[in-house]
Structure 1
Amino acid sequence: MIKRILVALDPDGDTPVATRFAIRLAKKFDASVTGLAVVDTSNLQSAMGVGGYGTQISGQTIWAEMAEETRKVAEELLNDFKNAVEKAGVRHRDVQMHGASTELIIEEMKYHDLLIVGKDSRFFYNQPEKDTGTLAKVVKKGHAPTLIVTDEYRDVERIMIAFDGSGPAARTLKGFVHLLPYGKDIEIELIIVSEGDSIEEMDRASRILSQAEAYLKEHGFYYISKKVMEKGKPGERFLNLQMGRNPDLLLLGAHSVSAIRRAAFGSTTQYMVENSQGPLFLSP
């Protein structure tokens, strides 16, 4: 059950959509919504550049100006959030924090059931075009499932679940089932990309989906279909199917296929976050 929802606010156009998703769920579950604006000061020093002793006073002035500019952006975001939730009659908290965005969002996730965030999030308010990497870090290291939204709101009635039998995929499936954000009368399509073209590999993939289907049915989901796709790059396969089916939500595991970039998404997840045409649901 969902009782506390966290919305990470940033200046991109998908933040109002994230707030709208949060409001819809809050009304359904009589939940509260927290709007979190982070004045991320962790990058201000590097943004100023490095100078000698003679530039110390000038550097401090620039730092103060950038911090003030960032604070104003945070206040504007919180005002927009507050206006939206109060108009909807939803209980809320407005939180502004100073520090590193990744650490602060992860800390707040400890006390919330769901994080909702835009997929194009930029948390360095003073450098809106800079990719902070925060999204990947909070999804992988956070303490709650994450709903990643685009700049288009959708009522969720049909979902697609990318399930390969891995631990991360199972955690995402369980996280969704236990939260039950959209009820049980939804259409579900389970999908998997086979690891090979042989009959044995295709059968193995089919068995994995059958296990996921059985789990869902035990929890009261009955409108389920399954699709095994032939070998290929999973991200491209999932995206092509998503564009053809146009589901309201896609579930997938947020795992990494290698330890080269432990803080980043796995290649398939990263590909879908960058290219997805609709919302994504992931669990750490």
Structure 2
Amino acid sequence: MTHVMACIDYSQSSLAVCDYAAWAAQKLGAPLTLLHVLDEEKYPAAADLSGNIGLGSREHLLEELATLDAQRARLALEQGQHTLEKARERTVVSGAAFPELKQRHGHLVESLSELEAEIRLLVIGRVGENSNRGAQSLGSQIEAVVRTIHRPILITASSYRRPEKVMVAFDGSPTAYKTVQMFAASQLCEGLPIHLVMVGADLEDNREALEKARSMLISSGFEVHAEIRQGDVEAALHVYQSEHGIDLLVMGAYGHSRIRQFLVGSTTTTMLRTATMPVLLLR
């Protein structure tokens, strides 16, 4: 069975990750897994340094260094386990079923790649514990995670706000239609009003494309408001969010034109960096 999987670390954003993961698990009726990955570069596993006898080396000092590395890693794993247990308490209080806990020692992207078959929805904070960026910036590992994991990814806001209104960004591309189809088939936002927004010229072709997507959502039981806005994509979407009190943005990870250049100065990247709401990326 696939799970909602939430990435937990020591950052402040993990509180919001717990809350959004609990919400998603309840909406999807899916089991929840909390994952902590101990960074192997920061806390290396114990190494055999007995062969490293070179200039200035002292074998007993090398042994002591290896022992200290092992102790640091052990303590960090224990701290990570404690963090996972506290995260489990928070998600249970938020209404989620008792979640499974997983801990890995390695690299986040590699660990998620190994676990991908178990993931139905990945929930991750916008910035992690090692980031020196602001709460609304984009963490250094998000790009690698999105490029590697071919599962829906919910990138959370810095604090939790239960989603009540959803905006689906639509550009008329085949990828955008696929995004709408995937979204329509999901239970995640069932019962919530949907704002289907296209930024572009108010032309007949665009109106027809928007109506087609709107009909797909309506046929799945959604209440849909569809609108075309003109202007810069990012600015128009932000203005729409502010005007309508949008709590969740849904986007395809890839699209055409500028959006196709995902995370290389693209519209998608800018929205991830500047959005004050959580962003659900569909692949």
Tell me, yes or no, if structure 1 residue 230 matches structure 2 residue 237.
no
Conserved in 2, the CA contact under 8 Å of 1:5 and 1:26? Answer: yes
Q: Establish whether residue 191 from structure 1 lines up as the match of residue 206 from structure 2.
A: no
Name the CA distance, whole Å, in 1 between partners of 2:194 and 2:213. Answer: 11
Of the candidates 142, 145, 151, which is equivalent to residue 144 of structure 1? 151
Q: Is 1:90 equivalent to 2:97 in the alignment?
A: yes
Percent identity of equivalent pairs: 23
RMSD across aligned positions (CA): 3.2
Structure 1 spans left out of the alignment, 5+ residues: 46-51
**Paired residue secondary structure (1:129):** coil
TM-aligned CA distance change 1:238 to 1:73, over 3 Å: farther
Q: Which amino acid aligns with 1:248?
A: D
What runs of 5+ residues in structure 2 fail to find an aligned partner? 45-52
Secondary structure of 1:186 counterpart: coil
Query: Does the alignment pair 1:129 with 2:139?
Result: no
Larger Rg: 2
Structure 1: how far apart are the matches of 2:70 and 2:272?
34
Q: 1:102 to 1:68 in 2, by over 3 A?
A: same
For residue 63 of structure 1, report the CA deviation from its aligned partner: 5.0
Corresponding residue number in structure 2 for 1:177: 184
The answer as to whether partners of 2:6 and 2:33 remain within 8 angstroms in 1 is yes
Which stretch of structure 1 is more off in the superposition, 246-255 or 128-137? 128-137
Cα deviation for residue 251 of structure 1 reads 0.7
Distance 1:70 1:237 in 2: 44
Tell me which residue corresponds to 2:49: none
- For residues 219-240 of structure 1, the C-alpha deviation after alignment (integer angstroms, 9 at most, x for no partner) is 222x2112212242x2222123
CA distance, structure 1, for counterparts of residue 261 and residue 212 of structure 2: 31
Which ranges of 4 or more aligned residues in structure 1 deviate by more than 6 Å?
Answer: 258-262
Q: Aligned partners of 1:261, 1:159: CA distance in 2, in Å? A: 24
**Distance in 2 between residues matched to 1:129 and 1:112, nearest whole Å:** 28
Counterparts of 2:3 and 2:26 in 1: how far apart (Å)? 11
**2:212 corresponds to 1:211:** yes
The alignment covers a number of residue pairs equal to 264
Paired residues of 1:106 and 1:143 also in contact (CA < 8 A): no
